[in-house]
Amino acid sequence: MSFLRMLSSKFQMPEAGTMLPGRDTPITTPGKHFVNGHDLDGPYPEGFQVLYVAMGCYWGAERAFWELPGVHVTAVGFAGGTTKNPTYHETCTGQTGHTEVVKVVYDPAKITLVQLLKTFWERHDPTQGMRQGNDVGTQYRSALYLTSPDDIKTAKETANTYQQALKKIGNTATITTEIEELKEFYYAEEYHQQYLARNPDGYCGLQGTGATCPLPVAPPNP
């Protein structure tokens, strides 16, 4: 593959015939959260809800959510593509169709979906397409994957709200965030889970646009 073709493929979703097949067996067995000790894969307390966010490199994105009051547990993995049980390195080829995702399990009695979405919009740049800052490729695209039609509707409404917030600060770029029903989530390897807690000096490229999303803020830590 030529250099120009490789560079171009970083910005385009792979065609069905070029997707990597993956494997039937999961690449990792989810354990416990490195920070709070909760089970990554549940079972979760009754009534808790789940949101899946993609904001570029999932290391910094995960930390942004596990620090919020009302969030029960977070985990990183892959969604939005076709390859079954992909590895991190396979996802980085751009031939799985997946993006790097954070699974956020939360107590809706303590923090709402809208409050979580406020953090999502403000903590990254949702207008950059197949990249986030210096991280380039389809695996860094902005996305929201939800589990109910009502949640999808809410997410799209907040996207419109944040688009107006961008315009107010003179940013005319269009939000490119993928907002869809979750089809499948695959856990990433154990060493990626809560990476910045395990490696406090590790890389975090998370940067916002400077626009404030006019949505309710999360409650302070108790």
- For residue 10, count CB atoms less than 10 angstroms from its CB and return exposed for 0-12, middle for 13-18, buried for 19 or more: middle
How many angstroms separate the CA atoms of 111 and 103, rounded? Answer: 15
- Does 213 qualify as catalytic in the annotation? no
How many angstroms separate the CA atoms of 6 and 35, rounded? Answer: 38
The structure tokens listed for 16 are 């069905």
Residues in the chain: 222
Place of tokens 């031939």: 95
Q: What percent helix, strand, coil does the chain show, rounded to 5? A: 30, 20, 50
Phi, psi of 158 (to 5 degrees): -70, -30
How many angstroms separate the CA atoms of 180 and 142, rounded? Answer: 12
Which among 57, 92, 204, 213 is annotated as catalytic? 57
Cα–Cα distances (Å) from 108 to 19, 112, 115, in that order, read: 37, 5, 10
Which residues are annotated as catalytic?
A: 57
